[in-house]
Structure 1
């Protein structure tokens, strides 16, 4: 009789459904986590996608704060150097979601609220399509407005140095 007590009893329908529910919850899900393996995405990938998407928005003159822009300007003068497309972008990223902050300079005359909204749309589209990460938020910090006179002053200084 003790042999019969050690055998497992068949599960009731309720027990089977509960076990199946737990199994479904334990399985990885989403396009980055499948039953065949996981995909990880580096922070720099998200930063670059967000940076490129932001630069494509009309009304965005430059990205980053003054120090970042000065450093990028110097780096661009070095032969063979590459443009830093992720400058002005910071992110917080988890396995399935990300939050993005962009720091921009807007051209004079552009409607800042409209430019910011277009940045959000562009960044969300690019990052979600490119990485399958869910973008929780895109915070836009407008650090300056580019005036047409700024270009004239820069040209005059360059002419004096030449």
Structure 2
């Protein structure tokens, strides 16, 4: 059974409620402590797993709000860049034994948002818990936009024009 942050043990509640969000630079958290050593998992790892698991659900068009999607589009165009960030639209708080996840998603038009959110939540929880051993106490989902099927053709033509400058002289 999943504990809410208010019913978690003192150290778990303090770690989760500390307000530390997942960026690649945050310290790793204790996930396993045995007599033979410790295993730690960085919050960026939980972020990446969550982002990939959310995108795997049919009906999720993209992740992130308008600003993070715009920066992601710019990052994709930079030669030698890392491409699409798997952590865009994903914020995490990772404690010693628990994690809380916030997702910003864009859904495809026609998808049932409530059912989609349930599927995303199940997929993210299963992936994070199976891969990290951390208990996921909550997954909050914010639907920021709906992608319309005709939106891609407008974006693609603008990108092609920007990539192929027209010449004035032949």
Instruction: Please tell me the TM-score bracket, short chain as reference.
Output: 0.7 to 0.9
Q: Tell me what 1:42 maps to.
A: 42
Matched, 1:139 2:140: yes
- What is the match of residue 16 of structure 1? none
1:70 paired with 2:61, answer no
Q: 2:31·2:132 contact (CA, 8 Å) conserved in 1? A: no
1:159–1:76 CA distance, 2 compared to 1 (3 A): closer
The 5 A counterparts of 1:9-28 are: none
CA distance in 1, matches of 2:135, 2:108: 30
Q: CA deviation at 1:81?
A: 1.7
SS in 2 for 1:40: strand
Q: Deviations over 1:60-113 (max 9, x none)?
A: 001000010010101111122222101100011100000001100000001111
The separation in 1 between residues aligned to 2:41 and 2:31, in whole angstroms, is: 12
Shift of 1:34: 2.2
Q: How does 1:107-122 map to 2 (within 5 A)?
A: 107-122=108-123
Unaligned runs of 5+ in 1: 1-29
TM-score of the superposed pair, with normalisation by structure 1: 0.76
Per the alignment, residue 149 of structure 2 pairs with 148
The answer to whether the 8 Å contact 2:31/2:96 transfers is no
**CA separation in 2, counterparts of 1:73 and 1:115?**
25
Q: Who is 2:131 aligned against?
A: 130
Could you say what the CA RMSD is over the residues aligned between the two structures, in angstroms?
A: 1.7
Larger radius of gyration: 1
Runs ≥4 residues deviating over 6 A: none
Which is helix-richer, 1 or 2? 1
Name the counterpart of 1:55: 55
In the alignment of these two chains, the number of paired residues is: 133
Query: Which sits farther off after the overlay, 144-153 or 69-78?
Result: 144-153
Tell me the secondary structure at the aligned position of residue 127 of structure 1. helix
SS of the counterpart of 1:109?
Answer: coil
TM-score, normalised relative to structure 2: 0.73
